[in-house]
Chains A and B, each alone.
Chain A
Amino acid sequence: MQSSLGYNEDMIVELGHFALILAFAVALAQSIIPLVGAHKGWRDWMVVANPMATVQFLLVGFSYAALTYAFLVSDFSVKLVVDNSHTLKPLIYKISGVWGNHEGSLLLWVLILALFGASAAWFGGNLPATLQARVLAVQSAITAAFMAFTIFTSNPFTRLAFPPFDGTDLNPLLQDPGLAFHPPFLYLGYVGLSMAFSFAIAALIEGRVDAAWGRWVRPWTLAAWVFLTIGIATGSWWAYYELGWGGFWFWDPVENASLMPWLFAAALLHSAIVVEKRETLKSWTILLAILGFGFSLMGTFIVRSGLLTSVHAFAMDPERGVFILMILAAFMGGALTLFAFRAPVLEAKGVFATVSRESALVINNVLLAVSSFVIFIGTMWPLIAEMLFDRVLSVGPPFFNTAFTPFMVALAMVLPIGAMMPWKRGNLGRVMQPLWGIAAFSVAMGAVTWALQTGSSPLVPVGLALGLWVVLGSAVDLWTRTGRGNIGHRAKRLTRLPRADWGKATAHIGLGMSIFAVAALVGWESEDIRVVQIGESFEKGGYTLTLTSVDRVQGPNYVSTMGTLEAHRDGRLITVLQPEKRFYPIAGMPTTEAAIDYKIHRDLYITLGDPQDNGGWAVRTYIKPFANWLWFGCFLMALGGIFSLTDRRFRVAAGAARKGPNAVPAE
């Protein structure tokens, strides 16, 4: 269609396609020129990486905007729009539909890669010129690889010769705010780890890792970890309310693929502190940075190839799987080879006693890395067993719960002690002095809980004791930091503590709350399944629930069967719950919408089942104790990361960048 302005609106998709190809060319150049420049010491060749990173980001940004435009105007000549959209779909899901599919989500990956690269150009002015050039080159090489993958195997801009009248709609499961915004956060996390990787490779090429390197790499890792935390938590929350029985973690390969990099990022952001403060653990930190991104790539590989869903799904589309495997092999193989050659150059400086913060963080890293390995081997084992031993078997939640939990218990047990241990040389007796009281209190509370609860499962008592120990230990740590003096002075000093201290305490408290919530949710959940007639009442967990009606409701792009239940307690109406069964006719798919009454100490969770022969309805009711504490704990972990991220030492570094000579254009 020719518009009055004289340009062709239909061309926007082609322009987006063209911008992506152009960005690919820029990325290729950017992954070579600055490396040569840094090697030869040619300043011009190094600094050109900065504008290139910006241009690359703008081009990919335009390309992404063009694809979004195609979704917004429902341009059904684009194959991707036909497969994943529909004119009736709500606006928000037209936007989220862009990444709710393989091709579009890859373009988002590339966009975030370019964004992180450009950020390193914008905020990295205080980096040594050669290091910055190398970081930008490595980052661009990763971006280029994913651009090639997008353009050659998964092009989102493919046109159809005969556009259909309407699209086939987005998978209705994805038409949900929780799931719509969960992938971008995960991608920000996965891709954020690419920055740590780029810094690691650049440092290996330079042959130098010092305290400053630790300080530069930490914010990126912290940001990636915060994004992963949010992404995993929203995904888990979505599963909780959408899948209909309130499960929040299934040990599915796709979930495991996000938990592994999360654990690695957690290990990395702790070991980077040791590099920053004490200049030791250098080669280990570099290795963590490489492996962390490696697991991100593997996560992508697992999700994209369908390898673990079924070996046959992989064979159905080997082109994409092989391409990602090649990217994985090239970057991991190259990085680990480089590591093997250069790691011995990285000499440790700090000397510390066996009882010290350094040692405590080594234990933290061992536990996090090994627990990540548990998930890795459990996820890959069905594949290994089939290929090597010709056994078709499953590895499910019972394995992961048994094999993973001990490491988390150990982590929680050592956390408060390690967090208060002084650097360089510590005294266990002195560190434990303020902690004995809360240790005794936590164990006592666990014991009381065990005595009072029905049933003999130690799950909740142990979870409660550990959670209390971590939460109170973190509070004691923060309070101890205010030094000596009267309470008023110390309280005043509390507000002036560095934000990193607040971040540490907040994140650890969040972890403690999550540990307790998981234990309570798994150990104390109760369930009720029954057939209910309309007008009939039943008792559950102290509530009287009455099914008042079941109605047919028309939604924007679905029809719903909606039950209405009133919950009374002691004759008082507490809440009205409306669980739904939806059917999306265009996609031909049913979904369940549970009705949940959220309270601080429990969730009342109801789903509506099928109509029964006698006119009643199947109704499932759950009491989920302390469910909200899990999401709140995850939120606190992310918030703690954000506090740390805004610590003065990082802000000062960013400020120096703005004043630094590199940030101001020379001409």
Chain B
Amino acid sequence: MNWLRACLIGLAVSLASPALAVQPDEILDDPALESRARDISAGLRCLVCRNESIDESNAELARDMRLLVRERLVEGDSDAEVLAFIVERYGEYVLLRPTTEGANMLLWIAAPVLFLIALLSAGLYLRQRANAPEPAKDGLSPEEEARLRELLKE
């Protein structure tokens, strides 16, 4: 009926339905494998939720994906192989950590590049300020000095 309401309800359902994300019956017996499963799940997006990883989500689909991740791990896949398998099935959208492939390179280097530019321009500015001539004692610029004289004449 009204988009905001729809959003809020979507948010509510995705964020706050009964709390347990990972169910007790999903947990693998091998703690090392389980810990890898948790790490992988935290980096995969739940497809039907607003902004949640499958590790946090209570959605049925997220549970299926969690089980899938564990299934692959038990079968001996490496972390990278599990991710590749999931991406092939569900697409790039599931990755919460975007790849560095193609245009995504821009995303990753944008901030460091901007930081270098900012540092460089700040450095130039600071050098210029260090070498700038001292203003007159009263802190007025030449134009203001001229205007002050003019005003005093009136």
Contact = CB atoms under 8 A, between A and B. Distances in A.
Contacts of B8: 171, 173
A329 interface: no
Interface string A302-318: 00001001000100110
Nearest to B115: A370
Nearest to A345: B143
B74 interface: no
B19 A608 contact: yes
A389 B103 contact: yes
Interface stretch (A22-30, A227-235, A350-358, A509-517): A350-358
Contacts of A353: 130
A612 B111 contact: no
Interface string B89-107: 0011111111000111001
Pairs of residues from A and B, 8 with the lowest C-beta to C-beta distance, nearest first:
A396-B96, A244-B19, A609-B20, A398-B97, A592-B19, A607-B19, A374-B111, A102-B4
A589 B9 contact: yes
A388 interface: yes
A354 B43 contact: no
A391 B92 contact: yes
What is the predominant secondary structure among interface residues of chain A facing chain B?
mixed
Interface in A284-334: 306, 309, 313, 316-317
A530 B24 contact: yes
A398 B41 CA distance: 12
A83 interface: yes
A92 interface: no
Residue in A402, A590, A607 with the greatest tally of chain B CB atoms within 10 Å: A590
A409 interface: no
Interface in B39-98: 42-43, 45, 50-53, 56, 91-98
Contacts of B7: 306, 309, 313
A403 B19 contact: no
Interface residues of A, number: 74
Given A349-B135, A349-B139, A370-B118, A395 B107 contact: yes
Interface in A332-355: 347-354
Given A371-B111, A395-B96, A529-B27, 11 more contacts: A244-B16, A251-B51, A252-B50, A252-B51, A358-B126, A392-B91, A394-B45, A531-B24, A589-B16, A594-B19, A607-B20
B132 A351 contact: yes
Given A366-B119, A399-B97, A609 B18 contact: yes
A417 interface: no
Interface stretch (A69-77, A377-385, A635-643): A377-385
B148 interface: no
B114 interface: yes
Contacts of A362: 122, 125-126
B103 A354 contact: no
Nearest to B12: A173
B141 A349 contact: yes
Interface of B: 2-13, 15-24, 27, 42-43, 45, 50-53, 56, 91-98, 102-104, 107-108, 110-111, 114-115, 118-119, 122, 125-127, 129-130, 132-135, 139, 141
Given A393-B93, A396-B51, A399-B98, A172 B2 contact: no
B10 to A, nearest CB: 8
B96 A354 contact: no
Nearest to A616: B24
A590 B16 contact: yes
Given A351-B129, A351-B132, A609 B16 contact: no
Given A394-B45, A394-B94, A354 B119 contact: no
A388 to B, nearest CB: 7
27 contacts: A173-B8, A243-B19, A244-B18, A306-B4, A309-B10, A347-B141, A349-B139, A358-B129, A363-B122, A366-B119, A370-B114, A370-B115, A373-B110, A373-B114, A374-B110, A374-B111, A377-B111, A385-B104, A393-B95, A393-B98, A394-B98, A590-B18, A591-B12, A592-B16, A592-B19, A618-B20, A618-B24
A645 B6 CA distance: 41
A381 B141 contact: no
A359 B128 CA distance: 12
Given A244-B16, A529-B20, A369 B118 contact: yes
A589 to B, nearest CB: 6
A581 interface: yes
Contacts of A348: 129, 132
Given A309-B7, A396-B97, A359 B53 contact: no
